[in-house]
Amino acid sequence: MKILRVIAVLLLSGALAFAAPENSSSPFESPGDLTPQGPIDQAVFAHLKKLGLAPAPLCSDPVFVRRAYLDIIGTLPTGAEARAFIQSQNPDKRRELIDQLLARDEFADYWANKWCDVLRVKAEFPINLWPNAAQAYHQWILTAVRNNRPADQFARDLLTASGSNFRVGPVNFYRAMQNREPEGIAQTVALTFMGARADQWPAAQLAGLAGFFAAIAYKPTGEWKEEIVFFDPAHDTNQLWRTATFPDGQPARLKPDQDPRAVFADWLIDPKNPWFTRNLANRIWFWLLGRGVIHEPDDIRPDNPPSNPELLACLERELIAVHYDLKAFCRVILNSCTYQLSPLARTNTPEAAAQFASYPLRRLEAEVLIDALNQITGSTEKYSSAIPEPFTFIPEDQRSIALPDGSITSPFLELFGRSPRDTGLAAERNNQISAAQRLHLLNSTHIQRKIEQSPLVKQQVQSRKSPREMAVDLYLNILSRFPSEAEIKTVEAYAKTGKMRPRELAVDLVWSLLNNAEFLYRH
């Protein structure tokens, strides 16, 4: 009977989620001005006009506060934070919120997690990364993001790293990849820093890039699993490094005993070279809006052109202008009208989606979703690893977005498509909702325990809140907005069925809201 009641609430409340607005009272849209705020908007809106596509209106304040928190720090706003933002009359509150979130500690945790997917930070036994190497790698990435290390220097640090895998975090870039032969390294480098599938290049082009990495050597130490990564000309018996050629066809001019990796890195990060800048600008856009201007973000090639060439060129210029400062670059995107559009598209076509005519709907990532569930319910999660202790011990109150090692996981993370970090491809992460996921959220003891033991539920009962007050409080904590009058009436009507007790009402309402598309999706 419990589940039947929950399903009844889902059917009633879910009918309101993401419905096309009939008037300006829609909780998802704002009557605000859609005037372009800069070059990004000019490029997007001009292209939409050319194609005869109408952009969605601006999103509402409740939608924006939730969106900004999730996209910038991978964390839901609390009910109090959502209420304060919604009720603020400050005309510049969106810009100020963006600045505040970019400065929070969670930004480093969340964006380091994104880089860890790309850089394959995952302990494996008995090959590749030993747990303390994986954690050294993660700590280096986290520190670089926290200190806002410019992305061009971040890339150079990785490409030129030498030293112990236990003590010099970035050398693990060369140990995390599956194929350490020169051509295998070249393929990983091209994918990571150029967004290119080098395995599809002509053989001569791939061989030329491989030359820069032919003299990388690996030397064990007296400590178990420790390894030194370094440039060793004697390691390359065929002297391939002397014939290294840049991907644009220009031969490298190398001095004797000069590390070819440094020469390649300097070529790569030169702003005059479009490879690195294009890949990075497209990847950051993908991370913030769920789709690259070039789609997929790691499949950049001549026959996969950008959906809006002017937009991509604009993003490249903006990235160069801020000297590869990723926070500054994110700030430019986040303050654009394009980013702040409503999720309710005026035209539901693949073309409109590819042209960013609305904010793309997409399911919360596994780590963000479980952290949100734990925040709302005041619960924790148990994590484990196949790798032996003690290096993988993680306390239960650890947030998933801050996990230092991809081998540390949970059944929930696996079910909801966390990236396995095997290849560095964006497609490794699965953010599509499935029937098994739906059933888990609706009918698992895992979620049931979280809800029924939640301090949020207990607070509703102990405070003796009315159904109206309960609806307001729970909607703010879970959906980051006030409920509409229609939704309040639904809750009040449901409260009258079967002489329902306050605790039962609170539990069922939390359960229904957690299963609502409005909670499960970025919008």
pLDDT (tens place) for every residue of the chain, 523 residues total: 455 444 444 444 454 344 433 344 478 888 877 888 899 999 999 999 999 999 999 999 999 999 999 999 999 999 999 999 999 999 999 999 999 999 999 999 999 999 999 999 999 866 678 888 999 999 999 999 999 999 999 999 999 999 999 999 999 999 999 899 999 999 999 999 999 999 999 999 999 999 999 989 999 998 888 999 999 888 766 677 778 999 999 999 888 778 999 999 999 999 999 899 999 999 999 999 999 999 999 999 999 999 999 999 999 999 999 999 999 999 999 999 999 999 999 988 999 999 999 999 999 999 999 999 999 999 999 998 887 655 566 777 889 999 999 999 999 999 999 999 999 999 999 999 999 999 999 889 999 999 999 998 888 888 888 999 999 999 999 999 999 999 999 888 888 886 678 888 899 999 999 999 999 999 9
Residue-wise pLDDT for 358-412, tens only, equals 999 999 999 999 999 999 999 999 998 887 655 566 777 889 999 999 999 999 9
The token pair that represents 25 in the structure block = 């009272």
Note whether 216 and 290 are same-domain residues.
no
How far apart CA 236 and CA 330 sit, in angstroms, is 41
pLDDT in tens, 308-318: 999 999 999 99
Is the Cβ–Cβ distance between 252 and 246 less than 8 Å?
yes
- Any domain includes 288: yes
Euclidean distance between CA atoms 244 and 34, whole angstroms: 50
- How far is 166 from 131, CA to CA, in rounded Å? 9
Same domain, 251 and 305: no
- Sequence-distant (6+) residues with CB within 8 A of 383 are 394, 396, 398, 403, 408, 409, 410
What is the tally of structural domains in the chain? Answer: 3
Same domain, 153 and 235: yes
- One domain, residues 219 and 315: no
Let me know if 238 is exposed, middle or buried by CB neighbors in 10 A (0-12, 13-18, 19+). Answer: exposed
pTM equals 0.94
Specify the pLDDT at position 23. Answer: 41
State which of 303, 324, 345 marks the end of a domain.
Answer: 324
- Residue 68 domain flag: no
Among residues 283, 309, 324, which one ends one of the domains? 324
487 within some domain: yes
The answer to the question of residue 491 being in a domain is yes
Identify whether the C-beta of residue 413 lies closer than 8 Å to the C-beta of residue 370.
Answer: yes
Spatial separation of the C-alpha atoms in residues 19 and 26, rounded to whole Å: 9
Looking up tokens 């499935």 gives: 434
- Same structural domain for residues 153 and 265? yes
In Å, what is the CA distance from 314 to each residue of 194, 281, 320, 361?
A: 18, 9, 10, 24
| DSSP per-residue string spanning 81-124 | HHHHHHH---TTHHHHHHHHHHTSHHHHHHHHHHHHHHHT----
Identify whether 207 is part of a domain. Answer: yes
Report the sign of the C-alpha dihedral through residues 38, 40, 46, 49, in that order: negative
In a domain, 361, yes or no: no
Query: In terms of domains, do 207 and 289 share one?
Result: no
Are 239 and 219 contacting, i.e. CB atoms less than 8 angstroms apart? no
Whether 303 is in a domain gets the answer yes
- Within this chain, do residues 200 and 248 fall inside the same structural domain, yes or no? yes
In angstroms, the CA 338 to CA 307 distance is 15
In a domain, 473, yes or no: yes
Residues 298, 254 share a domain: no
**3-state class (DSSP) for residue 251:** strand
Residues 195 and 254 in one domain: yes
Nearest to 172 by CA among 156, 159, 182: 159
Domain that residue 216 falls in: 149-269
**201: DSSP letter:** S
CA distance 141 to 173: 11
Give the pair of three-digit tokens for residue 164.
């112990």
Q: Is the domain of 257 the same as that of 280?
A: no
User: What is the Cα–Cα distance from 66 to 44, expressed in whole angstroms?
Assistant: 23
Query: Is residue 257 located within the same domain as residue 163?
Result: yes
Same domain, 278 and 253: no
